Amino acid sequence: MIQFFGRSYDREDLIAGVLFILPAALIFLIFLVIPIVFAVAISFTDWNGISPPSEANGVGLANYEALLTQPGIRQSDFFKALKNTVYYVIGVVPTQTALALLLAVIVNQRWLKAKGFFRTAFYFPSITSSVVISLIFMWLFTRGGLINYLIGRIFPGYNPVNWLDDPTGLIHNILGLLGVTLRSAPDWVRTKVLGLTIWDWISGPSTTMISIMLLNIWTTSGTMMVIFLAALQDIPRHLYEAAYVDGATGWRAFWSITLPMLRPTIFFVVTIGMIGCFQVFDQIFVISSGGPAKTTLTIAWMVYRNGFMNSDMGLAAATAFVLFIIIFSLTLLQRRLIGERMQI
């Protein structure tokens, strides 16, 4: 018998066990743990990403200060990226979750014909390359594209929106309709908070960002739908039967049985949705490169830009680490909120 991590094992069992997990453990170690430790170490240096990392100088917390506390372009860009990313998350996560749930409930109906077709069709975007989808969306959303054409058919006299090149924010536009512009707004909106004026903070997602949000909602809801579908089919039938015996309507059963039973799944879907949204990169890379007017500058795009276009891998690593902390804390918070009474 051998002692291992406080438990005793038969010697051969132990060797066999370790050998079994070795491939996965090695991959995990080499491609995940070591790079993460390396990235954290880099974030405390001024490494330019070109010369060997051993030549980089330690700069202590300077990269974090540049991002978070020291007024300047790096701080204002970081908070601009954070603002854009947060609007993106707020727009995408609830919408895609609700849409995925709706789709899952529909394709779970027993009266539905051609279930296989609908399930495949809804899931299809998820298995298509995001670059290809982005290119197709660029095509649909150009000024003279299909989207504007359809809107124009429904609302004659519609002045085509230039979806992919319009930096005006949603909330700014709504305020504009109400007659509030930067010129007519009170002076306090020009106060700078963390590198951005209050007016900039409340811009809302730009029109271009909204197009990218629609794209992402469309792509990911399929994956989420499959997860919901699996969970829906796990709910025991007898719960519904008991409810109908007690006179519950379908609507009531949905609110009182389906949703509570789906709680762990909703937590899961919201969490992976949120993580994915905070890391949005490929669509930005293909469609807008952070423009127009920095309104699609997201944190992940900023990491790439600083690391590979601006010779500042240290700052890029620090940005990535701050992003990790944001995602990690939000996940914990969410576990508190949604997951309270749930057991995983």
Partner 1 sequence: MFGNRNFVVAVVLIVALALAVLPTAAQEGEAVELTLMGWSSSSAENDRLQQMIDDFNSEYEGQIHVTLNLVPEYDTTLQTALAGGEPPDVFYVDSFRLPDYVEAGALMPGEDLIEEPDDFYPSLRQAFTYDGVFYCPPKDFSTLALFYNVDMFEEAGLEPPQTWDEMRAAAEALTDEDAGVYGLVLSADFARWIAFLYAAGGSVTDEDFTEMTINSPEALEALEFYTGLYLDGFAATPSELDSGWNGEAFGKGLAAMAVEGNWMVPFLADNFPDVNYGVVELPEGPAGRATMAFTVCYAVPAEAAHPDESWTLVNWLTGPEGMAQWVSLGLAMPTRQSLRDQWLEQFPELEPFLNGAEYAHKWQFIPGFQDVLDTVNDNIQRIFAGTQTPEDALAEIEEVGNEVLERYQAERAEE
165 binds partner 1 per the rule CB under 8 A: yes
Q: How far is the CB of 177 from partner 1 (least distance, A)?
A: 16
Count of beta carbons in the 10 Å neighbourhood of residue 185: 14
For residue 205, the one-letter residue type is P
Q: Report the distance separating Cα 316 and Cα 40, nearest Å.
A: 10
Q: Report the distance separating Cα 337 and Cα 344, nearest Å.
A: 15
Count of beta carbons in the 10 Å neighbourhood of residue 258: 20
246 binds partner 1 per the rule CB under 8 A: no
Distances from the Cα of 283 to the Cαs of 71, 81, 303, in angstroms?
30, 15, 15
Of 115, 143, 190, 192, the one binding partner 1 (CB under 8 A) is 143
Q: Looking at beta carbons only, is 70 or 329 nearer to partner 1?
A: 70
Q: Looking at beta carbons only, is 74 or 119 nearer to partner 1?
A: 74
Q: How far is the CB of 46 from partner 1 (least distance, A)?
A: 8
- Which residues are CB-neighbours of 273 under 8 A, at least 6 positions away? 92, 93, 96, 97, 220, 224
Q: Report the distance separating Cα 247 and Cα 261, nearest Å.
A: 19
- Helix runs in 108-129, H state only: 115-123
Q: How far is the CB of 142 from partner 1 (least distance, A)?
A: 5
- Which residues are CB-neighbours of 28 under 8 A, at least 6 positions away? none
| Residues 251-280 interacting with partner 1 (rule: CB under 8 A) | none
83 binds partner 1 per the rule CB under 8 A: no
| Residues 196-235 interacting with partner 1 (rule: CB under 8 A) | none
Stretch of 12-20, 104-112, 263-271, 321-329 contacting partner 1, by CB under 8 A: 12-20
Of 309, 333, 337, 342, the one binding partner 1 (CB under 8 A) is 309
156 binds partner 1 per the rule CB under 8 A: no
Enumerate binding residues for partner 1 (CB under 8 A). Answer: 12-13, 15-16, 46, 48-53, 55, 72-74, 77, 142-145, 162, 164-168, 182, 290-294, 305, 308-312
